[in-house]
Structure 1
Amino acid sequence: MPAPVADLVLTGARVIDPESGLDGVRAVGITGGAITSVGEAAPPAREVWDVAGQVLAPGFIDLHSHAQSTTGLRLQALDGVTTALELEAGVLPVAGAYARAEAEGRPVNFGFSASWTDARMHVLDGVPLVADASLDLFATHQSLPNWRGPASDRDVGRILDLLADAVGEGALGIGVLVGYAPDSGRAEYFRLAGLAARLGVPTFTHTRFISTAEPGTSLEGALEVIAAAAGTGAHMHMCHVNSTSTRMIDEVAGAIDAARVGGVSVSTEAYPYGAGSTVIGAAFLAPEQLHRLGIGPRQLTYLPTGERIADDRRLAELRATDPGGGVVVHFLDEDDPADLAVLERSFTLADTAIATDAMPLVASGGKPLVAPGGKPLVASGGKPLVAPGGAAAPDTWPPAPGLVTHPRSAGSYARTLRWLVRERGLLSLTEALRRSSLLPAQILEGAVPAMRRKGRVQVGADADLVVFDPDTVTDHATYTQVAPSSGFRHVLVAGTPVVRDGELRTDVLPGRAVRSGTV
């Protein structure tokens, strides 16, 4: 009997499958969005692409992407991402977020956790949760008075009920920004972990503290996550261990290693930059708290104006007038060998996934917006459109000049391959690919059976694939310029190329929803 005819075969690439250990030249056949053959001989196919000299690997799975617009996800696709999930902050209502994304279409696969902070804002401050709510509810309501503080037993019960309902709607777990509400109760966090254990889903925590000064150190924040996992049996995931641990990474890593040896389910992630990004109203960025991070106001860049914040007075002013405004936090100096060593040690912690913490694009400095080709965008009356500093970016491709975001939003995976693999030799190519694809899939697959088909180059796996040149792949985004990565020749989502010969395709939106409990 003749072999079935594949829709597409990729031939000549060095195929790396992190799970099986395959590392050799193979032909990969794709039919109906799935991998149907991986072998030395190419099967018959309707279309054949010669990708000799390239690496073919599983598409990257980003556990931590706040850039959930079509434009934000296209930047990530050009960085090799085939699945981008909003798990740390999460959303509410979850069903509404899925419905909106499915109706609009997405270039890569998508999914959401249930948002603890949104639930708290609703219960404690009366913020409405409506079906078409935007994904920036958290930033919009930073200044409300009650959501950061302790809650009564009754209100905690209401918060947990909202989260349980969201998991029932397909949420991939519970996102817990406890670092933004450090005065919330420890008992509430422990009860939340118990809920996650009963529901069989992970939690994704921004730890309570970022500091090397007692009390309330980064180590204490990490130990709270570990204790909740040990005490409830929940799978607790610690977000961006690089930026929350900072100069206590050795102590945090030691605690995580020991907990794992003891059978405690704790997973971690990191991104390869010495600066973070958040909202300027974050509790840990209060002027009186900055010394605990080992920084001052000058280490903060306020994105709506592009200014380095001059002093405590200016910081307090911005926190009061624009608490949801974006800010870049330079917590480590990559030009300082000691700080660089701290950042690199984040990636020596075993089984730490690469995740971006990608941020939305915003306008900087009230600059005029222009269309592709440089033509000014105008309002209906003919006046030029000028986005106020900090305004949400128009969801158009390519991104308009004058927009800014943290470079991790566009370049984390290319930077990993360039910097951590090619230049620093800190990770092997295979290990970097494992941490970018298979490991994130494994972190989720206990609650999300569909993830068992991702992160692999195997027959039956989803055809979410990247093809790239390991010698030239690189990032181009900076803290002042939004720019896509290069070197990713093809990026396929469910067998559909969203990047073909290095060029983004804007005519396809093959991303599929990823939900808990579904196969």
Structure 2
Amino acid sequence: MTYSRHNSRNRKIFPLVIVIAIVLIAGGIWAATTLFGEGSSDRESSSSPSAESTATVEGSQSPGNDPQSPNPATPAEENGIDRPTASELGKTYDVVISNGRVINPETKLDQEGLNVAVQGGQIVLVTDQQLKGKRVIDATGLVVAPGFIDNLSYDPNPIGVWNKIADGVTSNIAMHGGTASPEKWYPYYERNMPPVHFGASFFYTQARNQFKLSRYDTAKPAQTQTLVDQAEKALNNGALGISFSLEYVPGVNDKEILPLMKLANEYNVPVYFHARYSDMEEPGTNIDAINELLGYARASGAAVHIDHINSTGGTFSMTQSLKMVSDAIAEGLDITSCIYPYDYWGTYLNSARFDEGWQERFRITYKDLQIAGTTERLTAESFRKYQQQGKLAVAYAIPKQDVIDSLKAPYVMIGSDAILEPGFNNHPRASGTFARTVGLYVREQQVISLSDAIAKMSLMPAQRLEKQAPALQKKGRIAKGMDADIVVFDYDKISDKSTVEKPEIVSAGIEYVLVNGQVALDEEGIHKDIRVGQPIKSEFLRVKAGGSSLTWEDSEVPLLEYRNANYVDLEALKAHGYAVNWDKVTRQATATSGANGGKVDVPKPQQGELMLERGYKLAWEDGSSTKLLSVGNRNYVPLSALKSHGWNLTKEGSNYKLSAA
């Protein structure tokens, strides 16, 4: 509401002015009470006269989307709390989550009493001021967090996805496994409309099966080249990375792996590895397994993710394995890992993991194996029978301390390595991974903080894959402009309920789940008619023919256009008084003014070259930094960054000109 003041030219009507002033003061008091909600709760506001026609009873579904969105110029505090305009406060949003403890791991926001407005599938406000909604969810005493991202899952089958929703998962990404044919995989799941977002890796093991190779055979060079070509096609069709399962296919060697690693580096996608060994028995130990993966990262430059290090690559050697990874990260390698928060693993009895010597390797006996979905512990006789049938068994073989130590590592995130299968066949991690992380390891054992746990379950998985998957750049955060994938849970009650005997039991304490702004779970249960999951794909942009140029003082250099912005080669700065120095560990260049200029060769990028966001940054003297764009082995800085650092930028037709300010 806006007020204006009018001064009377006729001083004789002074009494009238007094009356007007009184009216204005009263109006101001009314506006403050209405806009800021003094003395009223958010749930009460939804039933006030001003909201009566649009608010719905708690538990009902949103009646639709309003195309309006708040003013993008809304100021925000540094920690991510918005300061809405009066216009924004007057709007009625699709969903308002009121009075919750909001955690945004990207900005380190962790504050109670905040309200989150959702409109048209996006978060449009995070504020401590009262908001109106068609549906108002009272989150008093509850935690409001980004929807969990399970990037160590499998295909979003029509049974397991509902247990994911009940565990707070809003994105199910098949990076342990995946598909050899994303051009078929993605359309299939788009037609079947799962309730969670979905994506997949190029699954090397599956693709390799076309050659009828046994798990112990090594591919021939021509076969490897065919697989490289197929992997490249898969990446261009949306695959989010490349995945290997070395322990299950021990015949795969470095001559097969390195060409795929180099391809991954070229395309700026990570490679996910189930490592080769899971024990400390010679020959072939966890230390050998970690060394192998770090060696591939060094040789190729590609990013590496180590699947479930608590059960593969770190079991019985966790302290040493974690140190090896930490040292590699300090060296400048791009390495991450994950765990599932259980001290027992599970797999099929006919897999290579149960080759001869498994009892010595895993330090267990037959009685430490249990058939999933039953109470049956195995004997030598039943083991042989079920091995022939390929039954899935749980192995009680992970030291509890290994889970704790790995969870504390800053580069380790959470991934389930499971999704419930037909017949309720699987490890309980298929249903309880995320609730168990919070309930057992945060609330009960206090191994890590709640904020850190939220980061490991949302932001970190998004960041691992988002460089070439723009959809993930808007997930894993609670902030204006982010996707409205949200979980609301009761910190005092959240816990896993699934067991080895009954892996299908859903988690407790997850109160609400929003996917793409729609309520998929609430006090009435899971809404199986809400199936709004969207594909999460890699996207690659290439240099186009032609292009603009930049006249910078006395030189002319080519420009790149990328996502509606123009970029200039970083080397061009050297001709204009900047020294540019690289730090390979931080993946950051530093620009320092005052250097002698000179002629610098800036080649024109070739048509068809990939334009990639590798995460490189340029640091300026004022402490700010700018994200760089990479093409081949060259890096480009946006013209907007030069404009904000003292250069005048003007447009001349389709070209640009920079001159000293």
Q: Which residue of 2 aligns with 1:63?
A: 151
Q: Which residue of 2 aligns with 1:132?
A: none
- Is the 8 Å Cα contact of residues 315 and 402 (structure 2) preserved in structure 1? yes
In the TM superposition, 1:121-160 aligns within 5 A as 121-122=209-210, 124-125=211-212, 146-160=214-228
CA–CA separation in structure 1 for the residues paired with 2:518 and 2:132: 19
Deviation at 1:288, TM superposition (A): 2.7
CA–CA separation in structure 1 for the residues paired with 2:452 and 2:322: 18
- Is the 8 Å Cα contact of residues 142 and 488 (structure 2) preserved in structure 1? yes
- Which residue type is aligned with residue 255 of structure 2? A
- 1:513 paired with 2:535, answer yes
SS of the aligned residue for 1:298 comes to: helix
Deviation at 1:342, TM superposition (A): 2.3
- 1:300 paired with 2:322, answer no
After superposition, the Cα gap between the structure-2 partners of 1:495 and 1:212, relative to the gap in structure 1 and judged at 3 Å, is same
Deviation at 1:87, TM superposition (A): 0.5
- Which residue type is aligned with residue 327 of structure 1? A
- 1:167 paired with 2:254, answer no
CA–CA separation in structure 1 for the residues paired with 2:383 and 2:221: 35
In the TM superposition, 1:19-168 aligns within 5 A as 19-24=106-111, 25-66=113-154, 68-122=156-210, 124-125=211-212, 146-168=214-236
Q: Which residue of 2 aligns with 1:372?
A: none
When normalised by structure 1's length, the TM-score is 0.84
- Which residue type is aligned with residue 2 of structure 1? S
Deviation at 1:510, TM superposition (A): 1.2
Q: Which residue of 2 aligns with 1:336?
A: none
Q: Which residue of 1 aligns with 2:477?
A: 456
CA–CA separation in structure 1 for the residues paired with 2:450 and 2:507: 18
CA–CA separation in structure 2 for the residues paired with 1:193 and 1:207: 15
SS of the aligned residue for 1:6 comes to: strand
SS of the aligned residue for 2:438 comes to: helix
Deviation at 1:225, TM superposition (A): 1.1
After superposition, the Cα gap between the structure-2 partners of 1:502 and 1:355, relative to the gap in structure 1 and judged at 3 Å, is farther
- Is the 8 Å Cα contact of residues 17 and 58 (structure 1) preserved in structure 2? yes
Deviation at 1:405, TM superposition (A): 2.2
Q: Which residue of 2 aligns with 1:2?
A: 87
CA–CA separation in structure 2 for the residues paired with 1:350 and 1:290: 32
- Is the 8 Å Cα contact of residues 70 and 107 (structure 1) preserved in structure 2? no
CA–CA separation in structure 1 for the residues paired with 2:392 and 2:336: 27
Identity level (%): 30
Structure 1 unaligned spans of 5+: 126-144, 333-338, 362-391, 394-402
Q: CA RMSD in A?
A: 1.8
Deviation at 1:304, TM superposition (A): 7.7
- Is the 8 Å Cα contact of residues 148 and 180 (structure 1) preserved in structure 2? no
Which fold has the larger relative contact order, with Cα–Cα distance below 8 Å and residues 6 or more apart in sequence?
1
SS of the aligned residue for 2:238 comes to: coil
CA–CA separation in structure 1 for the residues paired with 2:468 and 2:384: 42
- Which residue type is aligned with residue 326 of structure 1? L
Deviation at 1:73, TM superposition (A): 0.9
**Which is greater in Rg?**
2
- Is the 8 Å Cα contact of residues 68 and 360 (structure 1) preserved in structure 2? no
Q: Which residue of 1 aligns with 2:410?
A: 350
Q: Which residue of 2 aligns with 1:388?
A: none
In the TM superposition, 1:109-508 aligns within 5 A as 109-122=197-210, 124-125=211-212, 146-244=214-312, 245-303=314-372, 307-311=376-380, 314-319=382-387, 321-323=388-390, 325-332=391-398, 339-361=399-421, 392-393=422-423, 403-481=424-502, 482-501=504-523, 503-508=525-530
- Which residue type is aligned with residue 19 of structure 1? E
Q: What CA deviation, in whole Å up to 9, does each residue of 1:8-47 have, x standing for no partner? A: 1111001111111111121111111000111111334333
Structure 2 unaligned spans of 5+: 1-85, 541-562, 564-661
When normalised by structure 2's length, the TM-score is 0.66
- Is the 8 Å Cα contact of residues 156 and 188 (structure 1) preserved in structure 2? yes
- Is the 8 Å Cα contact of residues 287 and 316 (structure 1) preserved in structure 2? no
Deviation at 1:309, TM superposition (A): 2.5
Deviation at 1:414, TM superposition (A): 0.9
Q: State the number of aligned residues.
A: 451
SS of the aligned residue for 1:277 comes to: strand
Q: What CA deviation, in whole Å up to 9, does each residue of 1:196-240 have, x standing for no partner? A: 111211111100111201221012111111111121110111100
After superposition, the Cα gap between the structure-2 partners of 1:192 and 1:502, relative to the gap in structure 1 and judged at 3 Å, is farther
CA–CA separation in structure 2 for the residues paired with 1:268 and 1:50: 36
CA–CA separation in structure 2 for the residues paired with 1:46 and 1:289: 58
SS of the aligned residue for 2:231 comes to: helix
Q: What CA deviation, in whole Å up to 9, does each residue of 1:398-422 have, x standing for no partner? A: xxxxx34211011111111111001
- Is the 8 Å Cα contact of residues 373 and 500 (structure 2) preserved in structure 1? no
CA–CA separation in structure 2 for the residues paired with 1:318 and 1:160: 36
- Which residue type is aligned with residue 360 of structure 1? L
More strand per residue: 2
- Is the 8 Å Cα contact of residues 498 and 504 (structure 1) preserved in structure 2? yes
- Which residue type is aligned with residue 472 of structure 1? K
